[in-house]
Chains A and B, each alone.
Chain A
Amino acid sequence: MKVKHLVVSLLGIVMLVSMAGASLAAEAAYPTRPIEIVCSATPGGGNDTTTRAMAEFVSRRWNHPVTVINKPGGATVPAVHYALKESKPDGYTVLSDSHICSSFMVAAMKNPPVKLEDRIFLGRINLLPVAFAVKTDAQWKTFKELSDWAKANAKELSWGTTGAHGTSAFAIGEWLIALGVNPADTRMVTGGGWNEASVRLLGGHILLASQTVAEFLPLARAGRIRVLAVVAPKRNPLLPDVPTAAEVGYPQLKGVDWWTGLSLPKGTPQHIVDKWVKVIEEMCKDPVFLEKSAKLDYGVAYMGPKELTKYVYEQADFAKQLAPKLAGAKK
């Protein structure tokens, strides 16, 4: 009997050890299948371009296929839901996260289908500040002139945004509220993409547009638009001559950041999370990646998982305060 006991317990130990070994092996074995990064934008936009650059880097670094799949539309809900709720938390489906996918979504919707708590933020990669621009032949030469005019003529002010809860709607909303103007009194013109707002600004169909410095760059360099101010702590290297809002007398404006990063669904094993955190950190120091991002005008501004989580929650609080006061909220 004792021998039998011994054999059984020995077998048990062997099994335990081999299981532990197997799980260790499984840990070491990630990734074994192709990884997909889910992008919430159509191919070609800023979010897509940066996501592809990330995929390229990770693929090269791990010597493993990493592909980008686009699930555009629906105010990013289909993409975010697919990556964080419908997919297994096994590290093979990664979300290309952004302000639209996170803080804006939870601020804009009463009952967002995906919450901030449903994800693990892995790191922020790009950051661009938002600027305000008018047509070159417009009457306003400075941000102050525009602000004063807007205060007196709120009902005349027409401005463009991608959507009622788009980047521009929050940026211009914050500015109007700071001026003491109710955004609902102004004329908000919503449109498909950033290019539509640019076209409308150039054609004189709207008076003001608010987009990232990268999006304004070609038209600003060509002298077709006048960028009045950038809402950021310091001037942006892409448009070094444009003053910050604080410089011209509006230090209370926090501004809306356009950012991209990567996230995994809640419940993803820690060793996979760590692997991603590490590769993102390496990516943001990699000279080839940095050079490519610079050429595409997408500023790299790394932020680790802890800081990013804190940052997004702060951004979400800020957006939640603004959302009920925005122009789209009255209807």
Chain B
Amino acid sequence: MEALANLLGGFKSALSITNLFMAFAGTLLGTLVGVLPGLGPTSTIAMLMPLTAVLSPSSAIIMMAGIYYGAQYGGSTTSIIANIPGEVASVPTLLDGHPLAQQGKAGPALGIAAIGSFVAGTLGVVLLTFFTPFLADQALRFGPPEYFGLMLLALTVMVSVSGSSIIKGLLMGAFGYLIALTGIGPESGLPRFHYGFPVLYGGIEIVTIAIGIFALGELFTSFEQGREAVTTQKIGRVFPNAQDLKQTFPAMARGGIIGFVLGLLPGCNPAVTAYISYDVEKKVSRHPERFGHGALEGVAAPESANNATSSAAFVPLLALGIPASPALAVLMGGFMIYGLQPGPLLFKTNPDLVWTIIGSMYIGNVMLLVLNLPLVGLWARLTAVPYRIMAPIIMMLCLVGAYSLRNSTFDIVMTICFGVVGYLMRKYDWPAAPVVLGSILGPILEKALVNSLAMSAGNPMIFITRPICLTLILAACALLIVSAQYIRKSKRSVTEEY
């Protein structure tokens, strides 16, 4: 109850005119940078840092936090309307979001994404309000072996994003991992597969794979097929109706919880949580075959997971002073400019500030919903704009987005190469989602394995003697069996149908 009283105090100061305006400015800016692929909240917050010289601490931090969680809202827009994943975490969203747009249903998809973001974002803030110190300590129990178990569990997702053929899916996953092997190795600290090119020491940026294979691949395919626009269907209603909401609400709640729990772990990539929540929805659905062809739940779950993850990341920041991502590290710098040290003492030394920020996050989430829903109609109409106008814009967004990741022209070249790869994969029916999944999970899995064995001086028993790790590994095995049976069942139903 103490938390509730504190929160009310926080609301009081968060509702002052200045702070309301700051929350609005932050969330608006966040939405904009979220929509543009590549340009993320990190550089935006860093660029706005000099503003701290004129603003009060609470105003500045409210605005920066708004940019951070606002960017998660915008991420789904380009994924749904143009198949451009602005960051890797948006890949699961486009698996169903873009097919919906092609059916003329971009509006409901975008609407559900916005509402899901709101539901999960708010859920995340509620959990953050009441359980921060407790959760931060629980998350610490996750060491390298536990991450290894978790990544094994995540690998089972490969089965459900493989499409028609598991073999093809696994091969593509391995291909993704091979690409991700380029760069500095985790234990030796020495470069691999650089062929003497210094630029390859930095490895291949996963977002270039995602943008290339999904966005450019799609664009090249549509040129070949001579498609006129993303959709030639009549654009019906732009807002989701009550039926859509009823259908997707459980997915939002599940996605939100999964996203929050996994978001507490600093080493867990938001893309992993998005993929896992997508997989969970497909597994619990009565009609899993709809996934990949425009299931609204397939949009709701990963978008909710994304946003809950961004709220959860505040837990280690506020409770321990540990930023889980570069964007939060910049935000932490914002605290420090004012002489405030995020960490266990912040709740004691500056409770007003902390609660004002938490209060503003509730308000910010409402603002984001109000801000995003009216835009849905506008975005949805873009899907009917002819390709002769849209294609150059999509192309430019992809290449500028790829460049802005690391300010590297090499990334532009890679994106175009992956565009060709993506086009060929589409043409010969190879699934694309496993490539990205393999390139995300592979390096984390490798690092977790190497680190676990370093902890135990090479003894593999470490995976069995630690209860959380063992549970995760057993769960992964169980899921694999479930998936195998599900494949058998769906194969049978396919044979029965034809």
The interface of chain A, by Cβ under 8 A from chain B, is: 42-45, 48-49, 52, 56, 68-75, 77-78, 81-82, 85, 108-109, 113-114, 155, 158, 163-166, 169, 187-192, 195-196, 198-200, 202-206, 217-219, 221-224, 292, 295-297, 328, 331
Contact = CB atoms under 8 A, between A and B. Distances in A.
A188 B188 CA distance: 11
A43 B42 contact: yes
A195 to B, nearest CB: 5
A187 B266 contact: no
A80 B322 CA distance: 28
Interface of B: 42-43, 45-46, 49-50, 140-144, 183-184, 186-191, 198-203, 266-267, 316, 320-324, 326-333, 336-339, 341-345, 406-408, 447, 450-451, 454-457
A78 B198 contact: yes
A203 B202 contact: no
25 contacts: A44-B42, A70-B406, A78-B199, A78-B406, A78-B408, A82-B199, A108-B190, A164-B190, A165-B189, A166-B189, A187-B457, A188-B187, A189-B144, A190-B450, A195-B323, A195-B324, A195-B329, A202-B320, A205-B143, A205-B455, A218-B320, A221-B345, A222-B344, A296-B333, A331-B187
Given A71-B406, A196-B266, A218-B343, A155 B457 contact: yes
A328 B330 CA distance: 31
A190 B203 contact: no
B406 A163 contact: no
B333 A190 contact: no
A165 B457 CA distance: 19
A42 B328 CA distance: 11
Contacts of B408: 71, 78, 82
Nearest to A59: B50
A224 B320 contact: yes
A85 B201 CA distance: 15
Contacts of A331: 187-188
B46 A44 contact: yes
A292 B338 CA distance: 9
Contacts, number: 181
A331 B321 CA distance: 34
Given A77-B201, A190-B451, A191-B447, A164 B188 contact: yes
A75 B266 contact: no
A219 B189 contact: no
Contacts of B143: 200, 203-205
A328 B46 contact: no
Contact of A45 (B321, B322, B329, B341): B329
| Residues of A contacting B: mostly | mixed
A158 B407 contact: no
A161 B198 CA distance: 24
Given A155-B457, A221-B345, A199 B189 contact: no
B332 A74 contact: no
B46 A190 contact: no
Given A195-B324, A221-B343, A295-B337, A44 B330 contact: yes
A115 B336 CA distance: 35
B406 to A, nearest CB: 5
Contacts of A56: 50
B111 to A, nearest CB: 32
Contacts of A72: 202, 406
Contacts of B183: 73-74
Q: Which of B42, B329, B330 has the most CB of A within 10 A?
A: B329
A217 B341 contact: yes
B462 to A, nearest CB: 10
B447 A109 contact: no
A296 B339 CA distance: 8
A238 B42 CA distance: 27
Contacts of B46: 43-44, 48, 52, 68
Nearest to B196: A113
A147 B370 CA distance: 59
A113 B184 CA distance: 14
Nearest to B141: A203
Q: Which of B184, B203, B331 has the most CB of A within 10 A?
A: B184
Given A81-B199, A297-B336, A75 B140 contact: no
Nearest to A329: B188
Contacts of B328: 44
Contacts of A75: 184, 189, 191, 201
A200 B407 CA distance: 32
Nearest to A205: B143
Contacts of B344: 218-219, 222-224
A200 B408 CA distance: 33
B144 A205 contact: yes
B407 A69 contact: yes
A158 B322 contact: no
A292 B50 CA distance: 11
Given A43-B329, A48-B46, A78-B406, A296 B201 contact: no
A163 B198 contact: no
Contacts of A69: 407
B337 A292 contact: yes
B93 to A, nearest CB: 24
Contacts of B141: 203
A243 to B, nearest CB: 23
A191 B142 CA distance: 14
B327 A190 contact: no
B190 A198 contact: no
Q: Which of A52, A72, A74, A204 has the most CB of B within 10 A?
A: A74
Contact of B330 (A43, A78, A109, A190): A43
Contacts of A108: 189-190
B188 A328 contact: yes
B201 A74 contact: yes
A227 to B, nearest CB: 14
A71 B451 CA distance: 26
Contact of B454 (A113, A187, A196): A187
Give 7 nearest A-B pairs by CB, closest first: A44-B329, A164-B189, A74-B202, A205-B143, A218-B321, A74-B201, A218-B343
A244 to B, nearest CB: 24
